[in-house]
Chains A and B, each alone.
Chain A
Amino acid sequence: MSAPAPTAPSAVRSAVPKGHGDLVLRFRDVAKAFPDGTVALEGVDLDVRRGDFVTVVGPSGCGKSTLLRIASGLSPATSGTSQVDAKRIGYVFQDATLLPWRSVKKNVELLAELHGLSKTATHQAALDAIELVGLRGHEKKLPRALSGGMKMRASLARSLTLDPDLFLFDEPFGALDEITRERLNDELIRLFASKGFGALFITHSVSEAVYMSTKVLVMSGRPGHIVDTFEVPFGPDRTPELRFTPEFAELAGKVSHALREGHS
């Protein structure tokens, strides 16, 4: 267990409206050690700009989620700098975390409510977001009446109401069946293309990582660090057929290889 560099951790936030290509998240030499001595992350450098879809792929327990918790401010870094230049952050958890007593619309309105938006603005933002994720007609349903995929859509819509510059995704589709998952992948790509936010996406699926991203980071565990980086050459118009092209297979193969190398 090597001690993290003794630089004081700093978390900087500024509130500047962002355009395409502007930096929204920067990690420099970020490390995280827990009080019990476990080092979860070490020496992580990372940049996310608007228009970047950065995916971190790695085995379970390698500290991927810790990365997001630091980026969101839920948990501070032990050392290094994490700088967020986003007015608002969207955070989509692995669980949809919908409040079971609120209808879909009321759930989608929650964050706008917490941020003190006016009633009409909240209402409009919720309607727009519900439309965007394809939940029109389900506004009055309670979460218990939704399928796993629909819950995830509602959760996504909830974050969309804030129109975030930076989106953090913590294995959001990990619990869904493959068909639902691939469909949601496509819809998220579409949303990303139209909104142009910066995204940091955590997954343990290589195929999902390559399919979604502009950049794939391969992480390895204990302590978690980035072992390899792949630029993804495919443009923004991706269709499910992409998964069956030789280029896709080749890149996925390389990522898988790096994952195995890093893991051994």
Chain B
Amino acid sequence: MTTTAHSPEETLVTATVDTPPTAPTADPVLTGAGTAPLVKRSGRGRKRVTDSLLPIAVFAALIGVWYAITYLVLDPGRRFLMPAPHTIITDALFDGPTMDKVLPALGRSIVVTFTGLAIAIVIGMVWAIAMSQSRPVERSLFPYAVALQCIPILALVPLIGFWFGYDFPSRVIVCVMISLFPIVSNTLFGIQSVDRGMHELFTLHNASRTTRLLKLELPAAMPAIFAGFRISAGLSVVGAIVGDLFFKQGDPGLGILLDNFRARLQGQELFLTIIVTAALGFAVFGLFGWLAKVAVGRWYDQSRDAG
């Protein structure tokens, strides 16, 4: 009993010996050698297998529940409400005419998502950098960033249509508005969190404002900025779908398709479009996670962000 109680501690000790000699006294923001990675490392082997099996088991259970609802709860006439998983594959995914609608719509939604996100990144970073360089500018402009976040976007949608029409530009505007705030706030937070000692180092050597921004503030803020990009990327997908639902002129994106399939009671097609939309969300989120890793993963431990 006592020996088993001690064994986790022992593995923890060996794990500590394994770790590279990062200084424990260093700035906690900069080194990621916290306790969480140690625990993870000590549990290699069987624990890792169960860790990856558990979500799969949950997935299998959910599919089981889904089938139960389709075949046990719904009577045959109402099965379009929740078509069986395999029929989504056979009747929608492998159905030529359906895919001829879904794939181009996916393409258009991707274009809207990335156009909106790109514009949001440019505006958001310029906005945040301007605020970080001058207190009066921050005082004057930050309330509007918060306001942007607080006003329900749906309240502005009619106005956007009124001003910009009911086509592609309005969809992009919704994307920009919905994904702007995380970029502004994360960039500003990142720049303002730069270590004071590093600022003093630059002050001592008479660094100009531009030099300080380019060599210190922006690089130091990169982890926060990329975290902002990742949140905004997810929101931008939401913006593209929401924008679609309201601005239906022009070629349909995924949002319009969702609404059409719903209206025509095409359950399989609707579910497939939902899955494609979700996959787009995952892919965009994953893309920015990967970009962050490429950009700052070398020196910044992102496991800190996760938890």
A residues with a Cβ closer than 8 A to B are 72-74, 89, 91, 93, 95, 97, 99-101, 110-111, 113-115, 142-148, 151, 175
* Among B23, B197, B296, contact of A97 (Cβ-Cβ < 8 Å): B197
Q: Contact check, A114 vs B202: say whether CB atoms are below 8 A apart.
A: yes
Tell whether A93 pairs with B219 under 8 Å between CB atoms, given A143-B30, A144-B31: no
For chain B, the bracket of interface size reads 20 to 34
Q: What are the interface flags for B192-220 relative to A under an 8 Å C-beta threshold, 1 for contact and 0 otherwise?
A: 00010110111111110001000110011
Q: Contact check, B198 vs A148: say whether CB atoms are below 8 A apart.
A: no
Q: Give the complex CA separation of A143 and B298 in angstroms.
A: 11
Extra 17 A-B pairs, beta carbons < 8 Å, given A101-B300, A147-B23: A72-B204, A73-B204, A74-B203, A89-B204, A97-B198, A99-B198, A99-B216, A100-B299, A101-B219, A101-B298, A101-B299, A110-B201, A143-B26, A143-B30, A144-B31, A144-B299, A148-B25
B27 near A: Cβ within 8 Å? yes
| CB-based nearest A residue for B296 | A101
Please name all residues of chain A whose beta carbon is closer than 8 Å to the beta carbon of B204 when the two chains form the complex: 72-74, 89, 91
* Among A93, A95, A145, contact of B20 (Cβ-Cβ < 8 Å): A145
**28 A–B contacts from the bound complex (CB under 8 Å):** A74-B200, A74-B204, A91-B201, A95-B27, A95-B197, A97-B200, A97-B201, A99-B219, A100-B30, A100-B300, A101-B298, A101-B300, A110-B201, A110-B215, A111-B205, A113-B215, A114-B202, A114-B207, A114-B215, A115-B205, A143-B30, A144-B22, A144-B30, A144-B31, A147-B23, A148-B26, A151-B26, A175-B25
The smallest beta-carbon distance between B188 and chain A, in angstroms, is: 19
Q: Give the complex CA separation of A115 and B27 in angstroms.
A: 27
Tell whether A93 pairs with B25 under 8 Å between CB atoms, given A99-B219, A114-B205: no
Q: Give the complex CA separation of A143 and B26 in angstroms.
A: 10
Q: Give the complex CA separation of A89 and B201 in angstroms.
A: 11
Please name all residues of chain B whose beta carbon is closer than 8 Å to the beta carbon of A145 when the two chains form the complex: 20, 22
The smallest beta-carbon distance between B200 and chain A, in angstroms, is: 6
| CB-based nearest A residue for B216 | A99
The smallest beta-carbon distance between A37 and chain B, in angstroms, is: 23
| CB-based nearest A residue for B33 | A144
The smallest beta-carbon distance between B103 and chain A, in angstroms, is: 40
Q: Tell me the dominant secondary structure on chain B's binding face.
A: loop
Please name all residues of chain B whose beta carbon is closer than 8 Å to the beta carbon of A143 when the two chains form the complex: 26, 30, 299
Q: Give the complex CA separation of A142 and B30 in angstroms.
A: 11
Q: What are the interface flags for B7-24 relative to A under an 8 Å C-beta threshold, 1 for contact and 0 otherwise?
A: 000000000000011110
User: Which residues of chain B in 138-154 are interfacial with respect to chain A, using CB atoms and an 8 Å cutoff?
Assistant: none
Q: Give the complex CA separation of A256 and B96 in angstroms.
A: 89
Please name all residues of chain B whose beta carbon is closer than 8 Å to the beta carbon of A115 when the two chains form the complex: 205
Q: Contact check, B21 vs A147: say whether CB atoms are below 8 A apart.
A: yes
The smallest beta-carbon distance between A138 and chain B, in angstroms, is: 12
| CB-based nearest A residue for B195 | A97
B222 near A: Cβ within 8 Å? yes
Please name all residues of chain B whose beta carbon is closer than 8 Å to the beta carbon of A114 when the two chains form the complex: 202, 205-207, 211, 215
Q: Give the complex CA separation of A113 and B215 in angstroms.
A: 10
Q: Give the complex CA separation of A110 and B20 in angstroms.
A: 26
Q: Give the complex CA separation of A95 and B207 in angstroms.
A: 20
The smallest beta-carbon distance between A167 and chain B, in angstroms, is: 13
Q: Contact check, B299 vs A142: say whether CB atoms are below 8 A apart.
A: yes
Q: Contact check, A151 vs B299: say whether CB atoms are below 8 A apart.
A: no
Q: Give the complex CA separation of A72 and B205 in angstroms.
A: 10
Q: Give the complex CA separation of A143 and B27 in angstroms.
A: 11
Please name all residues of chain B whose beta carbon is closer than 8 Å to the beta carbon of A89 when the two chains form the complex: 204
The smallest beta-carbon distance between B120 and chain A, in angstroms, is: 25
The smallest beta-carbon distance between B251 and chain A, in angstroms, is: 43
Please name all residues of chain B whose beta carbon is closer than 8 Å to the beta carbon of A144 when the two chains form the complex: 22, 26, 30-32, 299
Q: Give the complex CA separation of A116 and B198 in angstroms.
A: 19
| CB-based nearest B residue for A97 | B197
Q: Contact check, A148 vs B23: say whether CB atoms are below 8 A apart.
A: yes
User: Which residues of chain B in 284-300 are interfacial with respect to chain A, using CB atoms and an 8 Å cutoff?
Assistant: 296, 298-300
Q: Give the complex CA separation of A91 and B204 in angstroms.
A: 8
Q: Give the complex CA separation of A151 and B30 in angstroms.
A: 13
| CB-based nearest B residue for A148 | B23
Q: Give the complex CA separation of A177 and B206 in angstroms.
A: 33
Pick the most buried of B23, B31, B197: most chain A CB atoms within 10 A of its CB.
B23
The smallest beta-carbon distance between A46 and chain B, in angstroms, is: 19
The smallest beta-carbon distance between A179 and chain B, in angstroms, is: 14
Give the 4 A-B CB pairs with smallest separation, nearest first. Answer: A148-B23, A114-B205, A97-B197, A100-B30
Q: Give the complex CA separation of A175 and B215 in angstroms.
A: 27
Q: Give the complex CA separation of A89 and B216 in angstroms.
A: 21
Q: Give the complex CA separation of A148 and B20 in angstroms.
A: 12
The smallest beta-carbon distance between A182 and chain B, in angstroms, is: 18
Please name all residues of chain A whose beta carbon is closer than 8 Å to the beta carbon of B203 when the two chains form the complex: 74
The smallest beta-carbon distance between B244 and chain A, in angstroms, is: 39
Q: Contact check, A101 vs B23: say whether CB atoms are below 8 A apart.
A: no
Pick the most buried of A73, A101, A111: most chain B CB atoms within 10 A of its CB.
A101
Please name all residues of chain A whose beta carbon is closer than 8 Å to the beta carbon of B300 when the two chains form the complex: 100-101
